[in-house]
C-alpha cells in the first residue's frame, strides 16, 4: 500500500520494486496494491456487517495476506490522511481486524532529502495500536527519490534496489506462513499450495 495517490509517486514506485523483489523469491508470490483512495471517509455508522463494499474487499485482501508493506510520503510531518483513514477502516473490528497479527513493513520516500522519515514514527504507532506486527528491518527513507532512475516496474538504481531488497528479505522471513500465525484462508480449489501474498 502506498500512501501517495499521485501519478508517478516515488512511494508507489518503491512498493512496485518491493513486489518485484519478492516475486523473485517465489514465482507464486502475488503482490496486489491496496489503493486507499477507494475507501470512503471512516464513519462508524457505515461500519456495520462487512462495511461498504470497497472496505470489505480491502479487509478480505489483508485477511488472506501473509504480510503488508506500506510506503508513505510525509505531509506536514506525518503520514497522509488517506493512509490513516485506510488504517482506521482496516483496524476494525477492534482486536479482530485484518491487521491483527499481520507482519507489516514500513518505509518512506520523498523528492526531498529526508525521504519522509518524519512520517514513519506516527505511522508505526498507528499500526502497533491496530494490532499489526512490525517487521524488524533497517529503517529505510529514500531521499531525493524523484531523481532515481526507474521504469514502470520500479526503481533501477542498483544501490536503491539493494536497500529495498533488504526490506524484501525481512518481509519474506517474517511472512505469516513462516511465523505460524493462525489465520483462516479460502481453500485452494485445485489442492495446489497457496502462494504467499504480500499486500
What gap in Å lies between CA 116 and CA 195, rounded to an integer?
A: 32
Average pLDDT, the chain: 89
C-alpha cell, 197: 501474498
Topology classification of domain 10-179 = Rossmann fold (3.40.50)
Residue 194 has pLDDT above 90, yes or no: no
Give the pLDDT score at 134: 98
C-alpha cell, 162: 539493494
Strands 150-151 and 103-109: unpaired
List the alpha helices (DSSP H) in the chain. Answer: 10-25, 53-63, 81-90, 120-129, 158-174, 176-179
Secondary structure, 3-state, 40-76: CCCCCCCCCCCCCHHHHHHHHHHHCCCEEEEEECCEC
What gap in Å lies between CA 74 and CA 80, rounded to an integer?
A: 7
pTM for the predicted model, two decimal places = 0.88
Domain boundaries of the chain, sorted by first residue: 10-179
Q: Give the model confidence (pLDDT) of 60-91 as tens digits.
A: 999 999 999 999 999 999 999 999 999 999 99
Give the pLDDT score at 107: 98
Amino acid at each position: 500500500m502506498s500512501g501517495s495517490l499521485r501519478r508517478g509517486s516515488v512511494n508507489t514506485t518503491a512498493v512496485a520494486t518491493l513486489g518485484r523483489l519478492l516475486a523473485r523469491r517465489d514465482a507464486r508470490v502475488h503482490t496486489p496494491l491496496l489503493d486507499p483512495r477507494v475507501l470512503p471517509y471512516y464513519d462508524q455508522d457505515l461500519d456495520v456487517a462487512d462495511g461498504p463494499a470497497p472496505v470489505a474487499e480491502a479487509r478480505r485482501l489483508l485477511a488472506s495476506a501473509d504480510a503488508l508493506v506500506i510506503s508513505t510520503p510525509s505531509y506536514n510531518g506525518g503520514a497522509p490522511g488517506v493512509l490513516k483513514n485506510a488504517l482506521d477502516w482496516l483496524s476494525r473490528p477492534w482486536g479482530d481486524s485484518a491487521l491483527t497479527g499481520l507482519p507489516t513493513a514500513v518505509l518512506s520516500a520523498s523528492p526531498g532529502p529526508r525521504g519522509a522519515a518524519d512520517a514513519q514514527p506516527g505511522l508505526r504507532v498507528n499500526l502497533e495500536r491496530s494490532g499489526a506486527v512490525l517487521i524488524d528491518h533497517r529503517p529505510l527513507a529514500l531521499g531525493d527519490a524523484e531523481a532515481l532512475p526507474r521504469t514502470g516496474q520500479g526503481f533501477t538504481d542498483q544501490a536503491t534496489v539493494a536497500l529495498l531488497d533488504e526490506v524484501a528479505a525481512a518481509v519474506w522471513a517474517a511472512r505469516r506462513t513462516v511465523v505460524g500465525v493462525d489465520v483462516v484462508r479460502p481453500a485452494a480449489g485445485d489442492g495446489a499450495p497457496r502462494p504467499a501474498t504480500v499486500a
